[in-house]
Amino acid sequence: MPKPAAIVGQIILYGAFAAFIGYFATAPTYKQIPDDAALIKLSMSHLGGRECRQRTAEELAKMPPNMRAPLDCPRGRSDIKLQLELDGKPMFETVMHPTGLSKDGVSTVYKRFEIKAGTYQLAVKMNDNLVNPGFNYVKEAQVTLKPAQVLVIDFNPDKGGLFFQ
Amino acid sequence: MSVHAALRGNAQTLFERIENFFDASFGGADNPLRHLGALGLYFLWILVATGLYLYTVLDTSIEGVYSSIGYLSQQQWYLGGILRSLHRYASDAFVLVMMLHLVREWAYGRYYGFRLYSWVTGVPLIWLAYISGIGGYWIVWDRLAQFSAIATTELLDWLPFFNEPTARNFLAPDSISDRFFTVLVFIHIGVPLMLILGLWAHVNRISRVDYLPSRRLMLGILASFLALAVIKPALSGAPANLALVPADLPLDWFILFIHPLTDITSPAAVWTLIFGATILLFALPFLPHPKAQPIALVDAANCNGCSRCHADCPYEAITMAVHPDKPGHKIALVDRDLCASCGICAGSCPSSTPFRSQEKLMTGIDMPQQPVDAMRQQLETELGRLRMQPAGTTQLVVFGCDKGADVRGLASANTAAISLLCTGMLPPSFIEYALRSGVDGIMVTGCREGGCDFRLGMQWTQERLAHQREPHLRSLVPQDRLRLVFASRNENKQLAAAANEFRTQLETRMVTSSKPPAYSRRTLHHA
C-alpha cells in the first residue's frame, strides 16, 4: 500500500500530466495571418500551347492512309508566362514550365499572398504560348477584400479563362 | 569524450534524476518514465477502442462529418463526447511518450549493437504516428481541420512528387466532395493498422514485452484523462469555410506544430529538418559507440538442457536445440545478433554454483569477459582477505552491477565488493557460499526497479532470492542477513548509506538469525 505522501505525489503528477496535455492540445492559439489581413491565392493548372504545322499534300501522300493527320504537333508544351499586378504595380511574375519528362504535362502554380484588407485594382496577365508576344489572357478588376477573406485567382477555359473567386 | 557522448551522458543523468524523483511517488513498477513504451501501447489501445466508436457514428458526407462529430460533443457528451476527448488526448499523450521514449533510449545508449533492430524499426513509427495524427484532425472538418489540410498539402507540394499542387483540392468551398472524407477515414484507419504492424516488428526481438503498464498506472492515467475530458472536452471549432482564413486556431502543439514551423521558416527548411532527423536517427547506431562485449558461450559438456537460460534471457537470444552429445537432452544456442552480453543466462544456470569441486569452475553458459570461475576466484580472494580481519569485525560482501551504483567504492578492510555485468548474473548460491564462509551479511544491489539496463536482471534476482524463481536461494540462508538495494548509476551515496545502515543492524544485534552452517572446503582451489 503506498504511503499517503506517495498518493498525494501521484495525484499531483497525474494532474500535472493531464494539465500539460490538456493545455498544449489547444493552446496557445495560433494566428496564421493578422486580423486585418486577407489572402490572395494564385493557383493554376493549365496546358501550355504548342506550335502546330500544317502538313503539305506531298507529306500527307507519303504517310500511311490511317496516319494522315493534317497537323504536325510537337509533343512538348510551351512555358506559360504569368504576371500579377496590384494597383498597377507588379506583384508577382513567373514562367511556369510544363511537367513531365517530355514536357508535355500541365504547367502549374500555387502561391499565397498576404495583403491588408481593402479595395485594390487587381490584374492578371497570362501568355500560354510563348511563341507569341504579349499576353493572350488578361483579367483586371477592382476587388474588395474583407479581413480573413480568401480570393482565388484561377484559370479555366470553360469559364472564359482567368477568373477571380 | 566526444560531444555526442557528453550530451548523451548528461541526458542520461537528467533522466535518472527525474526517474528517481518519480520513484518517490510511484515506485519503480508504476513509474511512468520507466515504462514509456508500454504507456505508448496503452494510449494506442485507448485510441483504437475510442476510434471504433467514433467510426461507427461518423457520417462521411461534407455536411455530415462536421455535424455527426459535433453531435457527440453536444448532445451525447456523456458517452460520445467523453470518448472523443479521450481519443484526442490519448493521441497527444501517445506522441509525447513516443518522443520521450525515443530520447530516453538514446540517452541510455540503447540504439546500437543488439538493440539496432528495435531502434531502426522504431524510426518509421514516428512518421506513421504523425501521418495518422494529422489526418485525424482533418476528419472533424472544422476551421482547424481546414488549416491543417491546406498547410499539409502546401508542405507536400514542395516535394517533386505531384503533377498538380495538391493544395488546389482546398481552393474553394466547392473543391472537395463527400468521397474525400471516405478516403480520409480509410487512411486514418489504415495508417494506424500499419503502425500496429510496425510495433509488432519493433518489439519482436525482445522477450516478455511490457504490452501494458501496471494496472495502477493505467487506472491513474485513465482517471486523469476522464477528468480532463469532463473539465475540458475536445470540441470542434466553427465549420470549415475555404473562402476564409481561419483565425485564432486552438492548435494542438503536440501534433500540428509542424504548420507554424513551416510558416515561420519554409517548406524547404521543414523537409530538410524532417528528412535530416530521420536520416540521423537511422545513422545513429552506425556512429562511433562503445565496442560490443563478447557474447555468452555455451559449454556443451556442462549444459544439461534445463532451459532456464532460455526462459530468463530478456532478448530471446537463446534457443534450445537437440544436444549433440547427450541423447534425449537439449542444449542452449546463443544468437550472436541478439545477445546483450548481460550474463543473466550465467546467473540462471544451475551449474554456476561455487560449491562445485571442480578446480576450474565450468558452467553450462558463461560470459568470456567475466566467467563464473573468475567470480568464484574473486570471491575466494575477498573472503580470504576478510578472514584476515580481527575477530568480531562485521564483514560484508556486496554484489553489484556495472550499470548501477558503483559498488567498488564500498570496498574496505571489512567489506568486499564485487561488480558484475548485471546483477541478474549472480547465481544465488554465491550468497550462500559467502555467508557459509563466515561473512556476516550480503548486500545485493542493482538498478532501480523497472530501470534495469537489461530489462529483467533485477526482477529475476528478486524472484530468485525470494524463492520464486530457479535457481532460487536456498532456505537455509536467513533473509535478515541479506539486503537487496536498488540504486541507479548516480546513487553511490545512497548505496553507501544503505551499506552503513545494514552494517549497523548487523552490529547492534538487530539481526537475530544465526549464520548458516559453515562450509568445509575440501579442495585446494577453495583457498
Inside any domain, residue B404? yes
Residues of chain A in contact with residue B232, where contact means CB-CB under 8 angstroms, are: 22, 26
Residues B267 and B393 occupy one common structural domain? no
Nearest CB among B171, B225, B252 relative to A26 is that of B252
Asked if residue B399 is part of any domain, the answer here is yes
pLDDT number for residue B510:
67
A45 at B interface, C-beta within 8 A: yes
| pLDDT of amino acid B526 | 53
Is residue B328 located within the same domain as residue B447?
A: yes
- Reported confidence tier of residue A160, pLDDT bands at 50, 70, 90: confident
Tell the burial category of B65 from Cβ atoms under 10 Å away from its Cβ (0-12, 13-18, 19+): buried
Query: Which ranges constitute the DSSP H helices of B239-329?
Result: 258-264, 267-283, 308-312
> Could you tell me the CATH number of the domain that includes residue B210?
1.20.810.10
Contacts of B27 in chain A (CB under 8 A): 2, 6
CB nearest to B248's CB, from A6, A31, A149: A31
A26 CB neighbours in chain B (<8 A) are 232, 250-252
- Domains held by chain A: number: 2
Distance from CA of A153 to the nearest CA of B (A): 10
Q: Are residues B156 and B274 in the same domain?
A: yes
Contact residues on chain B for A22, CB-CB shorter than 8 A: 89, 228, 231-232
Return the residue of A nearest to B251 by Cα.
A26
**The whole model's pTM is what?**
0.89
Same-domain check for residues A85 and A103: yes
- Flag if A148 and B250 touch (Cβ within 8 Å): no
Confidence at residue B391, expressed as pLDDT on a 0 to 100 scale: 79
pLDDT of residue B106: 96
Strand boundaries in A47-106, DSSP class E: 53-54, 71-72, 80-86, 89-96
Residues A92 and A160 in one domain: yes
Closest alpha carbon to A154 in A115, A117, A126, A120: A126
Residue contact A15–B22, C-beta within 8 A? no
Together in a domain, A22 and A88: no
Q: How far is A132 from chain B (nearest CA, A)?
A: 25
For residue B30, give how far its alpha carbon lies from the nearest alpha carbon of chain A (Å).
10
A45/A2 same-domain check: no
Question: Which chain B positions have a beta carbon within 8 Å of A39's beta carbon?
Answer: 245
For residue A52, the model assigns a pLDDT of 87
Q: Which range marks the domain in which residue B110 is found?
A: 3-16+23-286
> What ipTM score was computed for the predicted complex, to two decimals?
0.90
Chain A residues with CB under 8 Å of B250 CB are 26-27, 29
Query: Does residue A57 form part of some domain?
Result: no
Give yes or no: residues A26 and A82 share one domain.
Answer: no
Question: Quick check: is A25 in a domain?
Answer: yes
Return the ∠ at Cα B319 (arms to B205 and B374), rounded to 5°. 100
Residues B341 and B276 in one domain: no
Taking an 8 Å cut-off on Cβ atoms, the answer to whether B254 and A9 are in contact is no
How many domains are there within chain B?
Answer: 2
CB atoms B164 and A106 under 8 Å: yes
The single residue listed with the C-alpha cell 545478433 is: B337
One domain for residues B370 and B254: no
For position B519, what pLDDT does the model report?
80
Q: How far off is chain A from B211, nearest CA to CA, in Å?
A: 21
- Which among A41, A148, A149 has the least Cβ separation from residue B171? A41
Contacts of A19 in chain B (CB under 8 A): 228
C-beta atoms of A15 and B243 within 8 A: no
- Closest Cβ opposite residue A106 in set B163, B234, B247: B163
Q: Does A106 contact B at CB distance below 8 Å?
A: yes
Instruction: Please indicate whether, in this complex, the C-beta atoms of B249 and A29 are within 8 angstroms of each other.
Output: yes
Contacts of B285 (CB under 8 A, 6+ apart): B111, B112, B113, B115, B116, B119, B120
Strands laid side by side in the B482-486 sheet:
B415-420, B396-401, B441-446, B482-486
A82: in domain: yes
CA distances from A137 to A50, A126, A151, A158 (A): 16, 5, 19, 13
A29/B252 touch (CB, cutoff 8 Å), yes or no:
no
The residue among B231, B266, B286 that closes a domain is B286
Helices marked H in B265-408 = 267-283, 308-312, 344-348, 372-387
Distance from CA of B85 to the nearest CA of A (A): 10
Same domain, yes or no: A112 and A87: yes
- Using a CB-CB distance cutoff of 8 angstroms, which residues of chain A are in contact with residue B234? 25
Q: Which one of B25, B223, B247 has the shortest CB-CB distance to A31?
A: B247
Same domain, A84 and A109: yes
Residues B224 and B360 in one domain: no
Residue-level pLDDT, tens digit, chain B, 527 residues: 789 999 999 999 999 999 999 999 998 889 999 999 999 999 999 999 999 999 999 998 888 899 999 898 888 899 999 999 999 999 999 999 999 999 999 999 999 999 999 999 999 999 999 999 999 999 999 999 999 999 999 999 999 888 889 999 998 888 888 888 999 999 999 999 999 999 999 998 888 888 999 999 999 999 999 999 999 999 999 999 999 999 899 999 999 999 999 999 999 999 999 999 999 999 999 998 888 899 999 999 999 999 999 999 999 999 999 999 888 899 999 999 999 999 999 999 999 999 998 889 999 999 999 999 999 999 999 999 998 888 788 999 999 999 999 999 999 999 999 999 999 999 999 999 999 998 999 999 999 888 899 999 999 999 999 999 999 999 999 999 999 999 988 899 999 999 999 999 998 876 667 778 888 765 555 54
**Residues B281 and B301 grouped into a single domain:** no
pLDDT tens digits, A106-151: 999 999 999 999 999 999 999 999 888 889 999 999 999 999 999 9
CATH of the domain at A159: 2.60.40
Residue A2 with chain B: CB contacts under 8 Å: 25, 27
| Per-residue pLDDT at B522 | 58
Range of the domain at A17: 1-30
Q: Do B56 and B192 reside in the same domain of the chain?
A: yes
Nearest residue, CB atoms, B254 vs list A18, A24, A43: A24
- Do A155 and A85 share a domain, yes or no? yes
Identify the burial level of B46 via C-beta atoms within 10 angstroms of its C-beta, where 0-12 means exposed, 13-18 middle and 19 or more buried.
buried
pLDDT of amino acid B290: 86
Residue B447 near residue B401, CB atoms below 8 Å: yes
Asked which of B262, B286, B310 is the last residue of a domain, the reply is: B286
Task: Please indicate, yes or no, whether residues B46 and B141 belong to a single structural domain of this protein.
Answer: yes
**Does A93 lie in the same domain as A12?**
no
Interchain pair A30, B224: CB under 8 A: no
Considering only alpha carbons, which residue of chain A is nearest residue B160? A99
Is A31 within 8 Å of B157 when comparing Cβ atoms? Answer: no
Using the Cβ of A3 and the Cβ atoms of chain B, whether some distance falls under 8 Å is answered with: no
A1 part of contact set with chain B, CB < 8 Å: no
Task: Mark whether A110 and A42 lie in a shared domain.
Answer: yes
Instruction: Verify cis geometry, omega within 30 degrees of 0, for the bond prior to A28.
Output: yes
The angle subtended at Cα B217 by Cα B31 and Cα B223, nearest 5°, is 135
Same-domain check for residues B175 and B259: yes
Q: Are residues A25 and A82 in the same domain?
A: no
Distance CA B228, CA A59 (A): 80
DSSP-assigned beta bridge partners for residue B444 = B399, B484
In a domain, B154, yes or no: yes
Regarding whether A91 and A11 lie in a shared domain, the answer is no
Residues B274 and B390 in one domain: no
Domain check: are B301 and B367 in the same one?
A: yes
Buried b / exposed e along A122-143 (16+ C-beta atoms within 10 A): bbbbbbbeeeeeeeebebeeeb
pLDDT at res. A93? 95
pLDDT at A18 over 70: yes
Residue B521 lies inside a defined structural domain of this protein: no
